[in-house]
């Protein structure tokens, strides 16, 4: 009986740890988070990077992992990041539409904004929807080349 209890407690602990590690929090109000990010970006002379995704999406989780891996220093230097949970394409769709509906062709999707809210870049054709196959190098290249090129406009 004790071993069953210990197994149940261990399973609850593991599930709790996995749940805590998921990158998209549906309890966060993305409009508020975006407003705070824009203020931070203005203070720190950075751009705002909005990533639309969902926890069920393996590509979204892989992109998030890369953002905290080899791309972390680059992202921290240039961007304030806001992650927006789209659920099963039933959450925060109004925010996606505000930026040209970058999730139309898949997630994860990215939007780059100035601190004043001007749209600099938005994925249109599901460019990040294959993050698993891009690997960390491809994701780093996206952040360093694609987004950096749009920052100078």
Given pLDDT bands bounded at 50, 70 and 90, which one contains residue 57? Answer: very high
Q: Residues 115-127: pLDDT tens digits?
A: 999 999 998 866 5
Tell which wins on pLDDT, 18 or 129.
129
- pLDDT reported for residue 140: 80
Mean pLDDT along residues 64-69: 90
Q: Which residues 6+ apart lie within 8 Å of 48 measured at CB?
A: 34, 37, 38, 41, 79, 80, 81, 82, 112, 113, 114, 115
Topology classification of domain 23-151: Glutaredoxin (3.40.30)
Q: Which residues pair with 121 in a beta bridge?
A: 112
Helix (H, G, I), strand (E, B) or coil at 24: coil
Mean pLDDT of the region 66-95: 93
Sheet bearing 79-85, strands edge to edge: 79-85, 47-53, 109-113, 119-122
CB 34 within 8 A of CB 82: yes
What is the domain partition of the chain in residue ranges?
A: 23-151
């Amino acid at each position: 009986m004790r071993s069953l209890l210990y197994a149940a407690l261990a399973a609850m602990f593991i599930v709790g740890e996995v749940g805590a590690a998921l990158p998209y929090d549906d309890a966060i109000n993305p409009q508020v988070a975006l407003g705070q990010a824009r203020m931070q970006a203005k203070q720190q002379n950075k751009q705002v990077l909005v990533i639309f995704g969902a926890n069920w999406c393996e590509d979204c989780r892989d992109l998030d992992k890369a953002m905290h891996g080899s791309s972390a220093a680059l992202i921290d230097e240039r961007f304030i990041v806001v992650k927006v949970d789209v659920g099963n394409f039933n959450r925060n769709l109004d925010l996606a539409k505000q930026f040209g509906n970058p999730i139309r062709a898949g997630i994860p999707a990215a939007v780059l904004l100035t601190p004043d809210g001007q749209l600099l870049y938005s994925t249109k054709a599901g460019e990040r929807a294959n993050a698993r196959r891009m690997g960390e190098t491809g994701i780093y290249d996206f952040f360093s080349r694609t987004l950096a090129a749009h920052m100078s406009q």
